[in-house]
Amino acid sequence: MKVGIIGGAGYTGGELLRILIHHPAVEIVFVNSKSQAGKPVYSTHTDLLGDTDLLFSDDLHTDIDVAFLCSGHGESKKFLEANPSFKNINIVDLSTDYRDQSEGFVYGLAELQREKIKTAKHIANPGCFATSIELALLPLAAAGILTDDIHISAITGSTGAGQSLSTTSHFSWRSNNISIYKAFTHQHLQEIGMVVNTLQNGFDQNFNFIPYRGNFTRGIMANVYTSFDGTLEDAKKLYKKYYETHPFTHISDKPVDVKQVVNTNKCLISLEVHNGNLLISSVIDNLTKGASGQAVQNMNLMFGLDERTGLGLKSVGF
């Protein structure tokens, strides 16, 4: 498959390159970046030194099978309006622009709608927080047993804020620090509500979401709890049944931690029951399962490959 990457100089572009240069069925035709055009890819993504001699380019080619849109939020719509010929190409968009499934885009959460992704031409890749939280809730929504408010506290690494410098991503501020942001108003709430209602139509209880900035670079831990009328064994049976055919999501009998999933496309989930509440802990890598790894998983499904192709990645657990 011939691949083009738009906006290849950012974190998601770099993570996509890390995966795709070793993908057995992919040829990277171009890596577009206006700011870095003419420079080696490894000049920005220094971890790729020795792995590729690709150069950034400001050229665009439509003789490709799939385009990954890795530019900032709001930029994908602008890009497709300025380059309408790309609408005839398979697209995986990593921005927020089409996550409402407008203009024919399919929401690319394989654990929700794998069969639709297989026949889709344009995919809207889910958000990172949204992915971890949705995977925590899908089995409950599929069983139609969400009956109460959903309470979420989730922490993400600094790469979730993108590569542009800001006060809250500056090392001097972020190191040895923690803070909340966008409490109850985070932009991913819209897609989380959409996904839950896809499986449990009419669910209208509150999502009480408190996001945290963590003093680490990669990873998300989401702790989600809601009312549950059952035992821990009931919950484990429900979750293991739902995810038994999904190769990247696994149920752990022990508490999970972020180091288990960093640099991988896995989501690990642990469950606890306390006084009529089910606590679901969900961990992912925000750049892999929460972005570029999931994008490759979607590409694999679109082209009839095993969704695990190129994604046999191991975490750094120590």
> Which residue numbers are catalytic?
128
Whether 124 and 93 have beta carbons less than 8 Å apart is answered as yes
Distance from C-alpha of 139 to C-alpha of 269, rounded to nearest angstrom:
12
Distance from C-alpha of 200 to C-alpha of 144, rounded to nearest angstrom:
5
Name residue, tokens 């950012």.
10
Name residue, tokens 């792995």.
51
Region of 106 (left: φ > 0; alpha: ψ -120 to 50; beta: rest) is beta
Instruction: Name the residue among 3, 9, 18, 1 with its Cα closest to residue 40.
Output: 9
Of the CA atoms within 13 Å of residue 240, those in its CB half-sphere come to 10
Of the CA atoms within 13 Å of residue 90, those in its CB half-sphere come to 19
Whether 17 and 28 have beta carbons less than 8 Å apart is answered as yes
* Contacts of residue 7, Cβ cutoff 8 Å, sequence gap at least 6: 13, 32, 33, 69, 70, 71, 72, 75
Show the DSSP H helices in 143-211 as ranges: 171-174, 189-199
